[in-house]
Structure 1
Amino acid sequence: MGICFIGERNFENFILEYLEPKPGNFVSIEDRTVKGTHKGWFTLTLGQRARIGGQRDAWFVVDKDIATGDVFVAPTTNHPALFRDTARTDRFHWIAVDPPPELVRTQMMECHFRFVHQMPLIPCTVTLNMDGSVWISLSQPVRALTPGQFAVLYKGDDCLGSGKIIQLGPSEYTLKTGRERLVASQQQKDEPTPGPAS
């Protein structure tokens, strides 16, 4: 998460004044090759440009593995690994009614979503979980959904409430890769096996 109140300061330098560096690798999401190193996964946020020395092209942060310290990067700012269409929040904070009667009655509700101030509202379907958290399914994939940001829901002109994003669904890249593997596996099964030589 970015910290907007620090003003015009380098975020990495700011955060490293308070946390010890934990060096790790920038790893390509496509072929798992190491592209460079960083000073700590906590200095980077999803969607930002990764400053990787020696790389001619721009790379962007698409995921992080906190256990290993690896930060996964992809070439181009619109790589499919940056786009997701589902997110789960922690216990949602409803403003007027907790939770809305429509959501209680059917466990699902259509409304609109945003997670960045002034971003266009996106149609979504919200599913209520037993613990008060919600799954949000968007009508279109959104770039750089980020755990720790707040999902805010709207119905018409009314803000319904918000919840912190704690889990993301798979990226468009992950889904595409999975489909391609499934098709390749199916094609291998469908190929005729050679009969015995006569």
Structure 2
Amino acid sequence: MAWVAPVAALALASPVFAYDFGRQATADEIALWDIDVRPDGKGLPPGAGTVKRGKIVFAENCAACHGENGVGGIKDQLVGGQGTLSSQAPVKTVGSYWPYATTLFDYIHRAMPYQAPGSLNNDDVYAVAAYILSLNGIVPPGSKLDRNTLPSVKMPNRNGFVPDPAFDPAKLFIKR
């Protein structure tokens, strides 16, 4: 342990970023990774998609895992479950559990389809989101969604997530 004091002194005396390699990322490079979407729609990219187009894209890319019409597949059920969250057997789906429609876009955009995440273009992601929301009765069958309309979609469980007043983030860190 005799090495601890000299190492600590060196660390405190050295600049935090003293590495002499690499380069600062360009704005275009950062933009490639800056793909998160917030509940208010900040971060949604340009594009638009209809329920009609979403049905086609879903059949080609999603139905194999989630089942035809978002039910009965080998992966999570996407449709139904409204009114079950307080029951003994809650069914957590996009239509019953998710609080924001923008989260649906964000998840599809980043992680779907399972075999090729991120391979759908923005228009197709908006279309699949519109289709899933339509299957859940949240938007009408003739809907078209884009960066302006998607954040205004009111999800059935929008108010189902409330902050715990007893939550203290400082308690997340273990003090030794």
Name the TM-score, length of structure 2 as normaliser: 0.24
Q: Which has the higher helix share?
A: 2
Q: Which has the higher contact order (CA 8 A, sep 6+)?
A: 2
Q: Which has the higher strand share?
A: 1
Name the TM-score, length of structure 1 as normaliser: 0.22
